[in-house]
Structure 1
Amino acid sequence: MLQIERHNNPVADMLIGLEYLQSNLWTALPGYIISFNVEAMTCSVQVTISMKVRDEHGNVSSVAIKPLVDCPVYFPSGGGATLTFPVKPGDECLVVFASRCIDSWWQSGGVQEQADLRMHDLSDGFALVGVRSQPRMLPGISTSSTQLRSDNGSAYIDLNPGSGKVRIVAPGGFEVVAPESEFSAKVTIKGLFTYLAGMVGFGTAFSNSTRTDETHTHSGVQTGGGTSGPVV
């Protein structure tokens, strides 16, 4: 017991009351994902900071907070587009607690009356997935570009505002599914180029610096049923 608590001190009583109020006011806590409901876009979270509890004998012990359930998961979105990512058990997150009950809003959207008068309650958490503790820090964070990347850094899309370039690194392959793709300028292919349904185009075509379009001719060829030599 503190010395100030041994006397009839109104300031001490007020401080004790404020401390009690603060102990029941929740703002944000780190945690990790237990499970993810992809249809409801909610998750269950285990908070990773335990509570200190004093029993009737004055003994203090550490108690884990019960798992938080039905926490809406935050995905960056706006204007009809959303960035989604897989949410897996064990992923770290930050749970932010609303100052008022979110039940009616979560169920119906729009502006709703409070279903309950609770405030800063553990029942009203939003999960922001991606907050990381030191043991789970990402390696090789780019300090000059924006990346959408795998955690190990082996695959990524890199947008460099300095050079104006976008680079795609995909060890497992890059696939485009679209009825038509358009490139506005030159295209350079450094590997084997394979096409399966023909190739149509306009302009001059070259192979090994030799024209291969309709203007290409062979010299030393006589009329007959034979074939010419290879293009040189």
Structure 2
Amino acid sequence: MDRKERIDDPLASMRSVLAGHQAGVWTALPGIIQAYVDNPPRVTVQPSIKAQVRGTDGAVASVALPLLTDCPVQFPAGGDCTLTFPVAEGDECLIVFASRCIDGWWQSGGVQEQAEMRMHDLSDGFALLGFRSVPRALSGVSTTSAQLRSDDGSTYFDLNPIAQTVKIVAPGGFEVVAPTQKFTASGSVEVDSPQSTFSGAVTVKGLFTFLAGLVGSATSGAAATITGAINFIGSLTSNGKRIDDGHTHAGVEPGPGSTGPVN
């Protein structure tokens, strides 16, 4: 007779008791989000691993675990700052089960009494986002930089600690809304755009140089066009000639006529 089948074997009996106890202890399970509810952020999750249940006839059947409702969602956060994501139905996650009942804390915050004396229960799950199975694994993950990216990799914010660079790729557009904006470059700033529009006053400190030519020129860029009044404070030079109110013309006698071109 197999030692495991002997009912008088204390070790086998102990193992059977422990296995039965472990079957009711829940620690963590992968799951699929079925619904997301905001304020407060919580999800309904379908556990992705089935349970083995023994029926009254002694047969073992594989059954889906029940939906886990009102699982708090974990977003990376700290110091009054939070990184959020648009949680969607079908997203995969990891459900981590608290060792004690979380109802009191969830409803009131702070340090609370246990509403129930349950332990490692399916009712006390937290949803951790970002875990993925192989069919939904990300491709093209950068091995040299940190990225905030879309799943398809077409849109991303890239921070490279080795090159000490930050790159933003946004095919749909990039928008900054702020009452003041400041860009500081120790080298240079280059804007490559077929059309640039500035609304409001423009102030230039230091040398302002136009490099412009005829449209379609093989050696020059497109013509620079400024619509509206231009107010220069300081000297103004064009092609090496000073043309502000401080320039003079040689060989001109006072009279009612106009001068010729600047020499």
With structure 2 as the length reference, what TM-score do the two structures score?
A: 0.80
Equivalent of 2:199, from 193, 196, 199?
Answer: 196
Partner of 2:120, secondary structure, is coil
Determine the structure 1 residue equivalent to 2:209.
206
Determine the structure 2 residue equivalent to 1:215.
236
Give the partner amino acid of 2:192.
Answer: K
110-119 or 178-187: bigger deviation = 178-187
The reply on whether 1:132 has 2:132 as its aligned counterpart is yes
| 1:5-84 → structure 2 map (5 Å cutoff) | 5-84=5-84
**Structure-2 separation of matches of 1:116 and 1:58:** 32
How far does residue 5 in structure 1 lie from its aligned partner after superposition?
2.2
After superposition, what is the alpha-carbon deviation per residue over 1:68-121, rounded to whole angstroms, capped at 9, x for unaligned?
Answer: 000000000001100001000000000000000000001111111111100000
177-186 or 88-97: bigger deviation = 177-186
| Structure 1 residue runs without a partner (length 5+) | none
Moved over 3 A (4+): 221-226
RMSD (CA atoms):
2.5
User: Percent of aligned positions with the same letter in both sequences?
Assistant: 52
**Structure-2 separation of matches of 1:128 and 1:8:** 45
After superposition, what is the alpha-carbon deviation per residue over 1:31-86, rounded to whole angstroms, capped at 9, x for unaligned?
Answer: 01110111111110000000011112221111100000000000000011000010
Give the partner amino acid of 2:206.
Answer: G
Determine the structure 1 residue equivalent to 2:87.
87
Question: Is the radius of gyration larger for structure 1 or structure 2?
Answer: 2
89-98 or 194-203: bigger deviation = 194-203
Give the partner amino acid of 1:131.
Answer: F
How far does residue 10 in structure 1 lie from its aligned partner after superposition?
1.3
| Structure 2 residue runs without a partner (length 5+) | 214-229, 244-248, 250-256
Determine the structure 1 residue equivalent to 2:163.
163
Larger RCO, structures 1/2 (Cα 8 Å, 6+ apart):
1
